[in-house]
Amino acid sequence: MLKISYQKVNVDGFGVFYRQAGPKDAPPLLLLHGFPTASHMFRDLIPQIAEKLHVIAPDLPGFGQSDMPERAKFSYTFDNIARIVERFTEVIGLSRFAIYVFDYGAPTGFRLAMRHPERITAIISQNGNAYVEGLSDGWNPIRAYWQNPSEANRAALRTFLSPETTVWQYTHGVADTALVSPDGYSLDNFYLARPGADEVQLDLFGDYKSNVALYPEFQAYFRKHRPPLLAAWGKNDPFFLPPGAEAFKRDIPGATVRFFDTGHFALETHCDEIAAAIREFLGSLQMN
């Protein structure tokens, strides 16, 4: 039976928690989660793909079981998150690997790919955006904070941190919400309720504008290096729209785009289908 290990490693003084499964000599796949979750979002996916892959799923800095230092000691920006994840891969000995990116995991993983294109064997983007046309109007309150980082605009974003909003993120666009386990959003809400977590997340909302500013550079990386790419998209996502998935084909003509009739957290309802798509996608690369 497949065994999943749960470990925490010291990355230059920063504790990074991660899940690991699969043969150590198999092709590596780095799973990068998004907001407001952690590596537990991959709890159902890992057993389905780890037979022939070495799967590593860290909790991003400030999320899950990874360290969440005080804001006075650590600046919560996507550049800093990507820097720690990059060092994490080096500390655990990953030299070449594929990445699965979701939500916040996308600007994190794309930064890694842009800095070290020689390390990236393939990209799976599950509602991981890199194009302006992929951003819905649901981002408007956060856009307002980018344009005017006032206390009033910051306070207005607290609704995104409420338990009700977390549940909504999991269930919006899902045809049968009885298929959505409460485990995921309940654990997310536990982590969001920790002292100081709200301010960390508000900082990251504000810094997300740095990701949008990097979209042209991400796209230039796609055009130059043409990494094999699978976009597996919950088509009813209220934040990242289907045109953002289709846009990958503009820069990577050979990209595969698959839509699933579900919402933002597509693995909650369509894990079997997405796992099959991943096995087919990565299997075809290995055969070639």
E strand map for the chain: 4-11, 14-21, 28-32, 54-58, 97-101, 120-125, 229-234, 256-260
Return the number of other C-beta atoms located less than 10 Å from residue 57's C-beta. Answer: 26
Q: Look up residue 60 and give its amino acid.
A: L
Q: Which of 40, 54, 172, 264 is catalytic?
A: 264
**Does residue 54 carry a catalytic annotation?**
no
Rounded CA-CA distance 269/2 in Å is: 22
Sign (positive or negative) of CA dihedral 133, 103, 207, 228: negative
152 DSSP assignment:
H
Q: How far apart are the first and last CA of the chain?
A: 29
Name the residues annotated as catalytic: 264
